[in-house]
Structure 1
Amino acid sequence: MSARLLRVLLASPLLFTPVALAKEKPPREAIACEGAFAIDSSEARLIEIYGADNVWTGTVPGPEGMDMQATRVFPDDPDRMLEFTWWNEDERTDLGSVELPPTMSGPGGIHDGMSVAEVAAINGDAFTLNGFGWDYGGFASFRTGVLSDIEGGCYLSLRFGPDDRPVKVNTDAVWGDREVPSTEPLLETVGAHVQVVSIGYPHPDFRD
């Protein structure tokens, strides 16, 4: 390569820009409350869909330091892993919940990284979430709006997390065991965003 050509390439405004260097992320796979994610799903159905080699059931960490049983699909791949819990743990039936990986989006196109304001805009209504900093911190569900009535009968559960807790700003209103409205300006201040997307179903005793 000639010195002149090298100077031209180095001077190019596109050669070393973030756009040119960044790898384009593949589109997220959108899920609906059907098939593997339907109310009548089971471990047997997951094996049928994903293959026995990609399905594992065992004990996993739960809230408040407790252990719980779950079935994981693609358990060794964090970018693809799905975690299913069952109301009937003996039979691995009566789907309780599914935690989605970052490569998937839930009902309404909700995915990790979204801000509180972005989720509220999709919902078409405000909602509440738990304050941060404890076992159930940042969890939100939807009593009103588009995300409160999802086809297939599942409900959407999100866990938000902050980017940081600014030292010079009083953030007590969004911290601890309290309900926080999505309209609270401090949520933007701390950079609250979706960290976990899950869908779930009520216990069989409480279904219509």
Structure 2
Amino acid sequence: MEVLADVIAQQDLENIYPEAQIANGSEFFEEGTVERSYSILYPHSTDKILVIWKDPERTELHQIYLDGKSRWRSKTGIHIGTTYEELVELNGGPLKFYGFGWDYSGAVDWNKGGLENSNIRVFLEPTVAPPRDFYTDKVIETTEDEIDNLKLRVRAIILQQPEVTGNN
């Protein structure tokens, strides 16, 4: 993901990853509220990368989405399968997460830690079935033992392109 973290356009992807067999399309994102163009690099592979664009011409990056068994990782070292404990260490402090069973299931709140302004969003999943009260769209209030028992791992990563303003 290091190269993709920079501002890119469709033609950049084709030049940087000529073997990627890029597939393009458009569909609704953000809980079905916004139609966006997208490109999928390595679409028939476990290393696929979903690149979502701000514009139909595919010149302005909106975000990059990873899930599945992808080998890609962020500059901070986060990858699919990173454990909850590793995230806490990378964040430099405790984090919070939302419940399971909805569109943003397991979304992490960096809780004012070191990754708060990183533009990286991650989503956790338990490797064992969580208790019924963990199925919610609210932040989970839990103990360390309950977290340990869930054996949480990163299931998806979003690298959000920072907004550029005229004040930079």
Instruction: Give the aligned residue type for 2:94.
Output: A
Unaligned 5+ runs, structure 1: 1-30
- List, as ranges, runs of 4+ consecutive aligned residues in structure 1 with deviation greater than 6 Å: none
Q: Distance in 1 between matches of 2:91 and 2:103?
A: 25
* Equivalent AA in structure 1 for residue 60 of structure 2: D
In the superposition, relative to structure 1, how do residues 185 and 50 fare at CA in structure 2: closer, same or farther (>3 Å)?
Answer: same
Q: Does structure 1 residue 186 correspond to structure 2 residue 146?
A: yes
What is the aligned partner in structure 2 of residue 91 from structure 1?
57
Equivalent residues in 2 for 1:53-132, closer than 5 Å: 54-60=21-27, 62=29, 64=31, 68-77=36-45, 79-87=46-54, 89-100=55-66, 102-132=70-100
Query: 1:207–1:54: structure 2 CA closer, same or farther, 3 Å change rule?
Result: farther
Secondary structure at the aligned position of 1:120 is classed as: helix
Task: Say whether 1:176 aligns with 2:143.
Answer: no
Aligned CA distance change for structure 1 residues 51 and 122 (closer, same or farther; 3 Å): same
1:165 is paired with a residue whose SS is coil
Compare the two structures and name the one with the higher helix fraction. 1
Q: Per-residue deviation at 1:204?
A: 4.3
CA separation of 1:202/1:86 partners in 2, compared to 1, >3 Å: closer, same or farther? same
Aligned to 1:28: none
* Mapped pair 1:162 → 2:126: yes
In angstroms, what is the RMSD of aligned CA positions? Answer: 2.8
Long gaps (5+) in structure 2: none
Aligned partner (choices 75, 99, 113) of residue 145 of structure 1:
113
Aligned to 1:22: none
Give the whole-Å Cα distance in 2 for the aligned partners of 1:51 and 1:134.
36
TM-score (norm 2): 0.80
State the structure with more CA Rg: 1
After superposition, the C-alpha distances for 1:90-141 in whole angstroms (9 at most, x for unaligned) are 2212211112352111132111222212210121111222111111111124
In 1, Cα distance between the equivalents of 2:74 and 2:145? 26
Deviations 1:42-87 (A, max 9, x none): 111101111286222103574546764311111121x221111112
Contact 2:97 2:106 in 1 (8 A): yes
Distance in 1 (CA, whole Å) between partners of 2:63 and 2:167 is 15
**DSSP-derived class of the 2:14 partner:** helix
Aligned counterpart for 2:4 among listed residues 36, 39, 44: 36
Q: TM-score, normalised by structure 1?
A: 0.67
